[in-house]
Chain A
């Protein structure tokens, strides 16, 4: 019940296209859903996060869509650029409960120029 399932494992998108990464969770106590971006040799960097009281959050070219009834959330990267090539992790946690992030397995995104 603590798992977060992420797909796809790898994704290749053409420059200017839309990159979409999906995650699903089981634990209904989760109420905080961040996305992290990680470049080789670096630690994960917080990209964008959402709480379940909204269905969508947009920051620049990055958008989180959240479907509470389906227990799914996704990251959309609009106008994908070669500099977006990185590994993306979704995560989930309960803000009021255990202070720990449960991560998805990651998606290696490659943007072809």
Chain B
């Protein structure tokens, strides 16, 4: 089976812009979670989708949003980018929830 894929792998944006990141889960997986990884804060949960419904949301401002499509592919969007949004954004998929989550390689976002 192919693993979790994320596109793009690298992205450079400027403050105030918006960005959309994409995640394709492992075939058959219906749960997709997003995490932000930074050197200072570590790995932090953003949100989780299951069958196109957001089930859980982390403590991030409303500028961070996401959605899931009927084929389980997911996108996350960050509007009005800030310098502090520079991070590695990781997507993870599983059949139903947190157990046996598989991570993608991440999208490295740099905000200038």
Interface, chain A (partner B; CB < 8 A): 32, 34, 36, 41-46, 49, 89, 91, 93, 95, 98-106
| Chain B nearest CB, measured from A45 CB (Å) | 7
| Chain B nearest CB, measured from A79 CB (Å) | 26
Q: Is B42 a contact of A105 with CB atoms below 8 Å?
A: yes
Interface-side segment among B13-21, B68-76, B97-105: B97-105
Task: Give the residue name and chain of the A residue nearest to B90 (CB).
Answer: A43
Task: Give the residue name and chain of the A residue nearest to B39 (CB).
Answer: A106
Q: Is B55 part of the binding interface, using a Cβ–Cβ cutoff of 8 Å?
A: yes
17 other A-B residue contacts (CB within 8 Å) besides A32-B99, A34-B101: A32-B98, A42-B106, A43-B4, A46-B102, A46-B103, A49-B99, A89-B42, A98-B55, A99-B31, A99-B48, A99-B55, A99-B56, A101-B33, A103-B44, A104-B42, A106-B42, A106-B43
For the complex, give the distance between the alpha carbons of A89 and B101 in Å.
Answer: 14
Q: Which residues of A contact B103 (CB under 8 A)?
A: 36, 43-46
Task: Give the residue name and chain of the A residue nearest to B100 (CB).
Answer: A46
| Chain B nearest CB, measured from A20 CB (Å) | 20
The contact size tier of chain B is: 20 to 34
Q: Which residues of B contact A100 (CB under 8 A)?
A: 33, 45, 48, 56, 58, 98
23 contacts between A and B (CB under 8 A): A32-B99, A34-B101, A43-B106, A44-B103, A45-B102, A45-B103, A46-B100, A49-B99, A93-B98, A95-B97, A95-B98, A98-B55, A99-B31, A99-B50, A100-B33, A101-B35, A101-B45, A102-B45, A103-B42, A103-B43, A103-B44, A104-B42, A106-B42
For the complex, give the distance between the alpha carbons of A98 and B101 in Å.
Answer: 14
Among B6-35, those with CB < 8 Å from A are 31, 33, 35
Task: Give the residue name and chain of the A residue nearest to B94 (CB).
Answer: A99
The listed residue (A42, A101, A106) touching B101 by CB distance below 8 A is A101
| Chain B nearest CB, measured from A53 CB (Å) | 14
For the complex, give the distance between the alpha carbons of A43 and B105 in Å.
Answer: 4
Known contacts A44-B90, A89-B43, A106-B42; decide if A101 and B98 are in contact (CB<8 Å): yes
Q: Is B50 a contact of A43 with CB atoms below 8 Å?
A: no
